[in-house]
Amino acid sequence: MDKRQVIGSWLSGPRAAAEDMGVDFGYRGQRLGLPETGPGSVAPLGRRLGAIFVDWAMCSLIAYGLIADRQAESVSSPALLLFVIMASVTVGTLGMTPGKRLFGLRVISVNGGRLTFPRAVLRSVLVGLAIPPLIWDRDARGLHDRFAGAVQVRM
């Protein structure tokens, strides 16, 4: 093996190197019994980022409106609290936040049913901590989804 192949496999990551050796990982969501594409498939990263951006912007605007007369306070703490409450209530009842609805996403239980309210609260609190959503598995589920037994899918 020449140096370019070694450097190329290192730069492309362990998954690409394993696939070059013949390992078949399948598609995202295959282990969960989800379809590869279309409704019910694992939600793509771009839509997830768009949805959380919309939800965060909405909560920030509401928090700013609530504390606009007090200039010295930061808006981020009330916005984060509002975000966790909003996500808990909307995901626990409707299965989606307003941003997820706008981007055509839904949060469901791994077994395909509705996510229970306590698991939606756990998931929302972990999203508020910011670190769990940054650690993913090969099905594109963050730690917040794994702990809550959830998966984000396309509608």
pLDDT at 19: 62
pLDDT (mean) for 18-45: 79
In angstroms, the first-to-last Cα distance of the chain is: 45
pTM over 0.85: no
Distance CA 29, CA 131 (A): 22
Q: Which helix (H) or strand (E) holds 87?
A: helix 76-93
Instruction: Measure the CA–CA gap between 17 and 11, rounded to whole angstroms.
Output: 9
Q: Binning pLDDT at 50, 70 and 90, where does residue 7 land?
A: low
Q: Contact 110/149 with Cβ under 8 angstroms?
A: yes
How many C-beta atoms lie closer than 10 Å to residue 101's C-beta? Answer: 17
Q: What CA–CA distance (Å, rounded) separates 114 from 94?
A: 9
Both tokens of 91, joined, read 């995901």
More confident residue, 4 or 106: 106
φ, ψ of residue 2 to 5 degrees: the values are -85, 170
Q: Binning pLDDT at 50, 70 and 90, where does residue 24 land? A: low
